[in-house]
Structure 1
């Protein structure tokens, strides 16, 4: 870069060249740090995610053992790579509620591993299985004869608990079951917490995850990011006309030139208090609408129960890791109610309709108020 020769411009250049050089170095360092250290895209149980909720660490461990894990987002991709000697892992079942989608998933070859499946999915993908109660995720012993669980030992299990009408391998109190409906092995786990990057190193989580997922040499990790219907959604590129590229680039150049021209006229930054008030309840209302749209009464009930326990347990003088029996007994003594009724409210099965869900919310609110006022 040549230095201007006009005296006035040369003086300005001497004044600003240090600032410009520092900004360039900061920008370059920021780009390198983001590119090298930022977590890869992906949410909960995403095989490519390196955050606490992703499962990239599990994928790397399986790769060292010769197990190939391929993540897919659509049914078309799953059909292309799934084989009779492979394992299909359904990592985000809340996006797979559509009846036609479930039929097509059931037609995929190979064994199935269902992570936190909803009650509405079980008749199609796991006939004979039914959902029971919810319990907190904590360290549990296998208490079964399933080789994969016995070798792993204690693991962080919980969430949804399942039951079967016929013979089965039921481990960790029902948080893991395995049986063979329709001639193929189907495994169900009530929580995928033990597979995540943040929990894989605890207890026997890594061993259990590798034993369950690494049972086959090839794994199809099905983790959609949006609800799947009969057809995959069109991409933005498919929706745009072919002749729109030149217009977009023209707008980018025009905006850039306008920003350069107007940037010199901007004065100092002025702090201004924004006249916007956001209600704290909006997040809860939005989540409630999502649960209602998906008919996820089981998830809604679990969230209500977990929130109630988070507020009630400290008032009882118990630790967050207290056993359900201890919590129920403490509440019964505190409020003078029947322990069986309290257990049914806090740890019973999911409501079958909206009316029972509303009734459950009222009972939970009543228990919380009685504990608080007693």
Structure 2
């Protein structure tokens, strides 16, 4: 038996100043939580923006839309009270309907979709008409000439009572209403204007020839919130002061006025049509201009979704907005999880060591990795493979020798039972840490006993211990 050479102890040098690694780690500990909070806030903002309906959304406060953001429940409630609800999809038709017949209520839930010229005509309706605007913007107020300023705007709509600064609401029709989700935008009329404020300034009424009512939230009119608190009584009472309700239901922004331009002279025409005669264009569509020109006179190109351009993807409209918001949140969560577990997604990659590491430190490091991962099975198989790698050359046996033959040879050297030796070298994986420690000690005892006996025949004595080469893989 040859003695194992002891590693020469090296003198420890004084530790130098700490490098920048701890500072970087401290920076990461501060940046990662702040980044997670920022990502959570951004996700909340995006989700709120997607979940909040916009006036240009399809079916927004439409009397025929039964979805969450529609107004079909309000229209049905008005009809049940015996009121007439007239739906108009064109602004000019709505104004014409409001002018004819007895006084009516003109309900404009999406005034921002109207042109400035149309907005200016809203306040020139017949005397006694009530104009109800839902959450109008500054542009709408300026175009209609309503002397009211926008003040505080809330993140979400608040349920409030009809009082404003302790004063009761002067609108008699809203007397039965105790609470309503009417305060998201607050209004402040000019000092010289005699205006009535209700619901914590979330509703403003300006009396006059045309009674203008501004409502700072769309929640009382929507289907999803129509049955909450007293929203139903609030909306029906506000629109039901007259027997006729003209509901302006716009599908999108009002188209611009057609440009007025004189038609170009026709050089190839041998005759000139008489004044006042209607001429048919060559394409026969009664619209004039070259074929394919839109009716409004714009010739900037084919409309969206036509053959001249890529059609819109129908997948975007097949799912509600909350579905895409949840999908974005899941993607962000997966990305954060991948960044968090980036160093643990794969097995350790071997790499050359930049410095000399003692074998004891390497063994201890591997042992801690196995312990942290709970890999008792791989650790036990590694110990058995290392023991067989030392025993087989000493016993003059090939690497593919049968298990019973190896066990018999080892038992002959150590004086043990072949069955116990076979169980030790080829048995089941250890189930606990104690079993792994017992296995390591038993393998070491058997290996030392075999190495202590003379080798078979005249084989050269192998080194009982092979130190890992410095700089090799871990």
* TM-score, normalised via structure 1 length: 0.49
TM-score (norm 2): 0.39
Higher fraction of helix: 1
Larger Rg: 2
